[in-house]
Structure 1
Amino acid sequence: MRILICTYSTASDIFATIPLAWALRSAGHEVLYAGGGDGMRECAKAGFPFVDLAPDVDLTEPFRRRAEQTNNSGQLVWYRGGVIEEPDVTSAVELFGELSDLVAPGAVSLARRWQPELVVSTDIQGSGPLVASLLSVPLVPISHLFALVPDMVERLRNVMAATYAEYGIAGVPPVVQPVRTTPLSMNPQRSSHLLMRHIPYNGSHLEVGSLPDWLLQEPRRRRVLLTLGTFVPKYGGLAVLPDLMEQLSAVDAEFVLALGDVDQAQIPPVPSNVRIEGWLPLNAVLGSCSAVVHHGGSGTTLAALCAGVPQIILAHGADQHFNAHAVATRGLGVATDKTRLTAELITETLASSELAKIAVEVREEIDAMPAPREIAARLEAIVE
């Protein structure tokens, strides 16, 4: 069957869907990605064709406008304190609805021409439910966020009411089977979602090429990965580095600083126990690590959970504060900020047998979740 996957062009949204797309393709189905923006090229790097639904539309403008309205120079922030409050949900849904409306014309045109028999969509991308309703085909919304909002699809439909009316869409998909990739113990929110094991896919190895020798060797001492993701470094996140280097030099560990595609001139001199790397697939590194320090993005948090390593999270924006709270509450990591990331805190995290024990527990919980191939078989059944 033909399967259309609708997503945003951000790495975290695309990467979350790739394992299921692989499972569906391996089962013999035709998979096509749809979204807007240059980031959709990540689909091609993973082996899938894609269609840019809005090649001439500035999809960053809604973010900039809201940041200006809130006097925020970086990321928008939701769910501080680990609580999903209605004003935050409303704010997020309004943003997602506006972004979805921008790609809606392209999504409708593509769906009418390509005629998919199943639509898979991240649950925060409203173009998926729109075209599934238009064609009256089953919809599978995937939630890859710890801040799970069970009725996200319905909320987006409501804020996109004018777009639905424009295309004369009054019905709903015949089947809606939501899927979630986050383990229940990290957010016990009950819903009708099928659980699907998160398989870490953190991007194509094309940028890396052959894995470096140091990564294939046993570390001489404990290794700690430090990453700020793809978004934070662009919005002042590198300002933490000078003070951080002084703290890292006092820790008996080897640090891998993975900063992606940033201007090397912005990186301060580093101590001898810090290795500077550009972009690295996190899942290729985390297996050799004893801990990870990161910004709290959902993809990075899930990759660390799958590796079973303790986490120190320096949340910056978006839903990262919620993720940090979930990690700390579950007992497998620490939520802090840049001013409190000290050599002592890192040393204590590395020494904590309790953090390590619970990190392994959650890894085993994830390992026991149904694999993407099992979910692919379930999805085949709902179309037949």
Structure 2
Amino acid sequence: MKILFVSMPHPTHFHPMVSLAWALRSAGHEVRVAGHPDLTDTATGAGLTMVPAGKPGWYRDDPYEPDLYGQLMGRGASDFLRTFDWSWTDERAWSWEGLLGQEKILVSALLAGISNDPFLDDVMDYARHWQPDLVIWEQLTMGGAVVAEALGIPHARFLYGLDFLGRAREEFLRLYQQRHPDQREDPTREWLEEAVGRFGGTWSERLRVGGFTIATTVPGTELEVGFDTIGMRYVPYNGRCVVPEWLREPTDRRRVCLTLGTSNEIENTGTTVGEILRGLADLDVEVVVTLGAEEAAKMGELPANARPVGFVPLHDLLPTCQAIVHHGGFGSRLTSAYHGVPQLILGHGYDTMLAGQRQEKLGGGLCLPADSATPQEIRDCVARLVDDPALAAGAALIRADLLAQPSPAEVVPMLERVVAEWGR
């Protein structure tokens, strides 16, 4: 088979797909990766063949207005999407008006920018030339679905976190059907129908949610949605990495990892890494914090138990840790689950709080809202993570359930059957 992976250029959104791409290659299938030119180094660095599509710097130069609806509502679109009530606790957010606004902003501020016309044109040109048998597209890069539907070939949405967007879409459609035809509006359909129509295709809800879904979600945290789904074991991949020498050295204290993404500020709060480190200073632990030298220098003198290390591959660091504190990104939480490490998630929006709460219910971690968590609360949670055997046992059970999922190699024959049976 020929399989075309299609992804947005953010590395962390592409990394979960790498293990499946290589499982397919190892089984003898041909694999190509189509994405914005910004993805080239990431894809080729993973040893995969890249097909650049669209223009470099799409997020800076694309002519669509990313904050159009956000400005009309008095706040930025990205902030609206981050803070939308994805956990389904606010009835106003999940009303027809609330979900319609969410759809409008999602399409205009994100989806239509990722799969813009230059990108679609280039991916379609290559697909017509190469004739793939299957398209697997990252969950926000619906251009992959547009190309596949126009060509009449099977395609899968690749899901790496909780399907909070899919659940919102299902509820939107339920409310849509209840409205009088004259009062219906579907921004997602309007955009995708026009996009696929340019290539001779027709609208289908598959353009939004895929012909089927491949999901690497932590078992037990899934949301209830009605999509055909193949569960796949998450396999950690951190990109190009070098194992630092210090990581081979024994430590006489329990180790805690503190990583909050690319900034030393918890997103959208005033709590800093420095404040958190000072709050952890009295614990008998070594805190490995992913801070570069310049960032660490700006903080002045750090506590004696803090070890700033810059970038370090979590896949190699976490087996030496008894706990991790992180911002809820899917790479951090999935890698932590893979290694059975109890985790404190500082939820800051999107699916981070939802995932943290669900993992907390499974007994493998704790969760605090980033916008109100204090250094003292974080310190108390870390003390529980390293001292409470029940949390360690819960994290071990989560790991066991994750490892029981089909491996990428075991998913390959499932995909072969889908392609063989498509359209029958």
CA contact (8 A) 1:82 1:323 kept: no
Q: Does 1:82 find its partner at 2:87? A: yes
Structure 2 equivalent of residue 202 of structure 1: 238
Mapping of 1:160-239 within 5 angstroms? 160-170=192-202, 176-191=211-226, 192-205=228-241, 209=242, 211-230=243-262
From 120, 138, 143, give the equivalent of 2:159. Answer: 143
**Counterparts of 2:253 and 2:321, CA distance in 1:** 10
> Is the CA contact (8 Å cut-off) linking 2:265 and 2:273 kept in structure 1?
no
* Structure with the greater alpha carbon radius of gyration: 2
Percent of aligned positions that are identical: 27
CA contact (8 A) 2:193 2:202 kept: no
Describe how 1:46-85 pairs up with structure 2 within 5 A: 46-56=46-56, 58-60=58-60, 71-72=75-76, 76-78=81-83, 80=85, 82-83=87-88
Q: Which moves more between the two structures, 229-238 or 368-377?
A: 229-238
**Structure 1 stretch displaced more, 308-317 or 66-75:** 66-75
Q: How far did 1:240 drift?
A: 0.6
Structure 1, unaligned stretches of length 5 or more? Answer: none
Post-superposition offset of 1:260: 6.2
Name the CA distance, whole Å, in 2 between partners of 1:115 and 1:225.
45
AA in 1 matched with 2:315:
N
Q: Is 1:332 matched with 2:382?
A: no
Q: Which stretch shows the higher mean deviation, 340-349 or 57-66?
A: 57-66
Taking the aligned partners of 2:419 and 2:344, their CA distance within structure 1 comes to: 43
* Contact kept in structure 1, 2:115 and 2:143, CA below 8 Å: yes
**Cα RMSD for the two superposed structures:** 3.2
Preserved contact between residue 275 and residue 375 of structure 2 (Cα < 8 Å): no
From 115, 138, 141, give the equivalent of 1:122: 138
Q: Aligned residue pairs: how many?
A: 380
SS, match of residue 22 in structure 1: helix
2:11 alignment partner in structure 1 = 11
- Matches of 1:30 and 1:19 in 2, distance apart? 14
Pair 1:346-2:362 in alignment? no
Q: Secondary structure at the match of 2:32?
A: strand
Cα distance in 2 for partners of 1:107, 1:280 equals: 34
Letter in 1 for 2:411: I
**Distance in structure 1 (CA, Å) of the matches to 2:405 and 2:349:** 29
Determine the C-alpha separation between the residues in 1 that align with 2:143 and 2:77: 28
CA shift for structure 1 position 136: 1.4
Aligned-partner residue type, residue 75 of structure 2: N
Change (3 A) 1:237 1:49: farther
* Aligned counterpart for 1:99 among listed residues 113, 125, 135: 113
Q: In structure 2, do the counterparts of structure 1 residues 99 and 242 end up closer, same or farther at CA, with 3 Å as the change threshold?
A: same
Give me the whole-angstrom Cα distance separating, in 1, the residues matched to 2:27 and 2:259.
35
2:86 touches 2:164 (CA, 8 Å); kept in 1?
Answer: no
- CA distance 1:374–1:96, change in 2 (3 Å): farther
Q: Work out the CA distance in 2 between the residues paired with 1:366 and 1:120.
A: 22
Q: Distance in 1 between matches of 2:224 and 2:294?
A: 37
8 Å contact from structure 2 (residues 135, 154) kept in 1: yes
Distance 1:263 1:212, change over 3 A: same
Q: Return the letter of the residue paired with 1:315.
A: G
The question of 1:307 aligning with 2:311 is answered no
Pairs within 5 Å for 1:272-287: 272-287=304-319
Question: How big is the shift at 1:264?
Answer: 5.0
Structure with the greater relative contact order (CA < 8 A, sep ≥ 6): 1 or 2?
Answer: 1
Q: CA deviation at 1:296?
A: 0.4
Q: Matches of residues 256-267 of structure 1 in structure 2 within 5 Å?
A: 256-259=288-291, 263-267=295-299
Amino acid aligned to 1:177: F
Q: Are the aligned partners of 1:2 and 1:115 in contact in 2 as well (CA < 8 Å)? A: yes
Counterpart code for 1:181: T
Which runs of 5 or more structure 2 residues have no equivalent in the other structure? 174-185
2:232 and 2:341 map into 1 onto residues whose CA distance is 21
The farther-off stretch of 106-115 and 224-233 is 224-233
Q: Supply the distance in 2 between the matched residues of 1:55 and 1:121 (Cα, whole angstroms).
A: 19
Which amino acid is the alignment partner of residue 373 of structure 1? A
Work out which of the residue numbers 313, 319, 323 in structure 1 matches 2:351: 319
Q: Is the 8 A contact 1:129 1:139 kept in 2?
A: yes
**Contact 2:260 2:266 survives alignment (8 Å):** no
- State the match for 1:359 in structure 2: 395
**14-23 vs 273-282, which deviates more?**
273-282
Q: Is the 8 A contact 1:221 1:253 kept in 2?
A: yes
**Alpha-carbon distance in 2 for matches of 1:108, 1:81:** 33
